[in-house]
Structure 1
Amino acid sequence: MEGKSIVIMGVSGSGKSTIGELLAARLSAKFIDGDDLHPKSNVIKMSSGIPLNDDDRTPWLERINDAIFSIYSKNESCVFVCSALKKNYRDAIRCGNEKVRFIFLDGSQELVLKRIRMRNSHFMKSDMLASQFAILEQPVDEDDVITIDISMSIEEMLDDICIRLGV
């Protein structure tokens, strides 16, 4: 799997970080949490309970795109975590990056809300979840996206991802 990047995508609370870290370990790949690539202004805005807009996301998506290109240019592999809620966000990540695949963690708003309420260390607040579902564009006709049902167990999700990636 050298020279490839996998982006674990979905709304906050869908399990991106958990699945991303475990998948990276399984594949002996690097792991990068896209939240760590947000500019300071975005973190401050989200911590204040203000949803990001497209202008806020542009520099963040450029950083992710650059990181994926860097991984590819060194013939390394990486699992990234990034919400990538809109098709144009995914397109921004894809631009110039041929060997990127997306794993969409898909689940109901009720299930995700339940998960968010159980954690307290993340800057995403449960009342901001509705804004994420409102802008989510389900990946349709995107050949490089694999959709995974988050109602499965973590092990079932990981096994399904690996089978569908062919690794």
Structure 2
Amino acid sequence: MFSIKAVVLAALLTLLVVDVDSSSGGGGGSSYNFDLSNASDLRKLYNSKVYEADRMKRSLDGMPFQLGPLSHSGVRVTLKDGTKWLVHKGGGFGQSSQTVVVAARHMSSDWNIKETKNFGGCKTVSDFVKAGGSDYSLIFDNCHMGAGRMWKQCD
């Protein structure tokens, strides 16, 4: 027979499996000068230096609240030209990597800044994607762990 704690833990883990894609809608970004369907522009974006970053968190899709790991994390980076990009990971997000980059203008208003840090150009967008990790695992390498590795760069 299952204890109440085991049932609650199973329910929480099930909720974490909820699709955590970045929802569209208002929010946080200026226009960008990259055509991401163009390999040259994509390369320019990935080689762009990051000058400032915001550690971001939002509730999981379909949940009205955040509670520790019952949330979604990412890092919004600001480039020299002022454009902002969200780097985050999740199951099924990308093809060759589960850590992806999206224009911050696609972020919903559910995202909240938890911390801001000056990176001063010490890392590129590509470095943030690499730090996020190519694989996703709910238990061993999730969005929170990936965002934490991104955040610790240049310490």
TM-score range, shorter chain: under 0.3
- Which protein shows a greater Rg? 2
Which structure has more strand as a fraction of its residues? 2
Which structure has more helix as a fraction of its residues? 1
Question: What's the TM-score once normalised by structure 1's chain length?
Answer: 0.25
Which structure ranks higher in relative contact order (CA pairs < 8 Å, sequence separation ≥ 6)?
1
